[in-house]
Amino acid sequence: MVKRDLYGFIGLIVATILALVALRIWVYEPVTINEQMANQYLVEKDIIIADRSKKIKYGDFVLYKVDKKKYVGRVIAMEGDDVTYLYDVLYRNNEIVPEDYLKIHGHAEYYTEDMTIETLTEGQHTVIPKRSYLILNDKRTDLRDSRQFGLISQKQIIGPLTFRLKPISQFGFIDNGLAQ
């Protein structure tokens, strides 16, 4: 009787470990925020979970890879969108999109160079093509995003950042600065 209970307990532990490993491999990707990824919502050394299964929305922070290096940026536009940045104003599909999340206390302004999808893709596209995204850093002076790498393909995206594990004082879902 005790031996059977022990085997059952060991089986339960093994099944739990296998389930956690499977979730880690196919669904969740932990990332430690580095200096390049950090902004006013994601602090250096935070541990955040990227969810591979979650649908990407405007304004989401996403983890993506370029040349085997991981980056974090904000989704500004998705397939089919026409985007223009002119004098620090974002126009998506000919409508002004407020970017209040960029306003940082103590800083008078931010700066995003004027651009369009056509200039980013060197005349190849006028709207964002299928399975591609325009991703920009909240630190707009850091050009390691779509401005340097071009449009980010769906294959490069690991997933949206959804949950903060560390520090424990901020444990919970990520605030991306957008009204929900």
Distance CA 109, CA 35 (A): 21
Nearest to 118 by CA among 107, 130, 105, 129: 129
Greatest CA separation found in the chain? 76
Decide: 174 and 164 in contact? Cβ < 8 Å. Answer: yes
Ordered domains of the chain (ranges, CATH): 30-173 (2.10.109.10)
24 or 7: which leads in pLDDT:
7
**Confidence band, pLDDT 50/70/90 cuts, at residue 66:** very high
* Least confident window among 20-29, 57-66, 140-149: 20-29
Give the mean pLDDT of 66-71: 94
pLDDT digits (tens, 9 = 90+) for 88-144: 889 999 999 988 887 765 555 567 888 999 999 998 999 999 999 999 998 888 889
Q: Which residues are CB-neighbours of 79 under 8 A, at least 6 positions away? A: 127, 128, 129, 130, 131, 132, 133
Instruction: For the chain, give the percent of residues with pLDDT over 90.
Output: 58
Q: Confidence band (pLDDT; 50, 70, 90) for 179?
A: low
Sequence-distant (≥ 6) Cβ neighbours of residue 179 within 8 angstroms: none
Separation of alpha carbons 22 and 144, rounded Å? 32
Whole-number Å distance between alpha carbons of 56 and 161: 10
User: 14, 20, 21, 46: which is closest to 33 by C-alpha?
Assistant: 46
